[in-house]
Amino acid sequence: MTDLTSVIIGVGGYLPERILTNDDLCKVVDTSDEWIQTRTGIRQRHIAAQGELTSDLATAAAKAALANAGIEAGSVDLIVLATTTPDKTFPATATIVQDKLGIRGGAAFDVQAVCSGFLFALATADSMLKSGLFKTALVIGAETFTRLLDWSDRTTCVLFGDGAGAVVLRAEPQNKKKPGGVLGHHIRTDGSKQKLLYVDGGVSSTGTIGHVRMQGNQVFKHAVTNISSAVVEVLEMTGHTISEIDWFVPHQANQRILDGVGRKLGIDDAKLVSTVELHGNTSAASIPLALSTSVSDGRITQGDLVLSEAMGGGFSWGASLFRL
């Protein structure tokens, strides 16, 4: 490893125009606004328009992040895109975004870790920048996740939404006295739990896209435990404590999970960034979307210490600590 760190120099997000409310969903399945809000905290979610692809959402978020960083797309030499809902089986959606941004050099590829995808993509890009392999990276989480839903299954269709978020990372010399940028990650998977959250289709198994299937209450139990242990690991690894955290930007699956993790770890409610009410669960997009929302509304500012975590299908889970 070199003495480089990767600094987040820009963040951006994009949400499709169409909003689907809980009341709209009551016309589709046997549910209620009261059940959805009480059990999940979700009030509405955004839905991509017909013909609007994951790469379109990702490109819009990437453009917003580049504008926020004040740099041209041409200086990006790495794109790592986390998605479960690629435009096509191949090529990687990241390469489609590379083309849409007019970038003609470097490398672009996808990462698949479902709702933990953004943290896996961030860890991947961070390692590549710190090793000196690339200089400037776009790390994107983008999903048209509602295209994986079975709209007759009330246990899943009320939970998810579409969206994209992105950060621009740049390799810079490390300030040894006050380390900044991406400070550490802890990412893990456990394939033995795949039956609790999966899609019942795939290229090599059924030749179909399939639909999301989840035993929600089982996932819920594992989520709080796995996320809390990942946070403890990343804090130990980086030598920080919970009380030093300025902002907690978790994956947005369920307000009850956010509150449960916050309580277990002793995180002050005022430090929690929650967008689940307005966005639903946007899978790999939820963390960078929440980050971009809280940077653009002025809550998170330069120098703040930010803790992030996620848990998703696989199971996959992780935590990241960075200074903006």
* Distance in Å, CB of 252 to ligand UT7, minimum: 8
Nearest residue to ligand UT7, by Cβ distance, number only? 216
Q: How far apart are CA 252 and CA 282, in angstroms?
A: 7
What phi and psi values does residue 153 have, to the nearest 5 degrees?
A: -105, 100
C-alpha distance from residue 68 to each of 113, 280, 289 (Å): 27, 25, 14
281 is catalytic: yes
CB 63 within 8 A of CB 6: no
- DSSP states of 63-108: HHHHHHHT--GGG--EEEEE-SS-SSSSS-HHHHHHHHTT--SSEE
Number of residues forming the site for ligand UT7 (CB under 6 A)? 19
Of 37 and 75, CB closest to ligand UT7: 37
Q: Which of 75, 112, 155, 189 binds ligand UT7 (CB under 6 A)?
A: 155
48 binds ligand UT7 (CB under 6 A): no
Whether 211 is catalytic? no
CB of 286 to ligand UT7, least distance (A): 8
222 is catalytic: no
State the Cα–Cα distance between residues 7 and 173, nearest whole angstrom: 10
Separation of alpha carbons 279 and 229, rounded Å:
26
Give yes or no for residue 146 binding ligand UT7 (CB under 6 A): no
Segment lying near ligand UT7 (by CB under 6 A), choices 10-18, 45-53, 170-178, 211-219: 211-219
Residue 242 three-state SS: helix
Helical pair 54-69 and 286-296, crossing angle rounded to 10 deg: 40
Q: Supply the minimum distance, in Å, between the C-beta of residue 194 and ligand UT7.
A: 13
Among 4, 33, 39, 147, binds ligand UT7 (CB under 6 A): 39
Amino acid at 283: S
Binding marks (x or -) toward ligand UT7, 80..119, rule CB under 6 A?
-----------------------------------x----
Q: 269 and 262 in contact (C-beta within 8 Å)?
A: yes
* Active-site residue (options: 46, 185, 251, 279): 251
- Distance between CA 143 and CA 86 in Å, rounded? 8
Among 33-41, 56-64, 173-181, 230-238, which window interacts with ligand UT7 (CB under 6 A)? 33-41
User: Among 33, 35, 127, 149, which residue sits at the site for ligand UT7 (rule: CB under 6 A)?
Assistant: 35
Report the nearest approach of ligand UT7 to the CB of residue 155 (Å). 4
Minimum separation from the CB atom of position 35 to ligand UT7 (A): 4
Helices 54-69, 93-100: crossing angle, 10 deg rounding: 50
**What residues make contact with ligand UT7 under the rule CB under 6 A?**
31, 35, 39-40, 115, 154-155, 158, 216-217, 219-220, 223, 253-254, 257, 281, 311-312
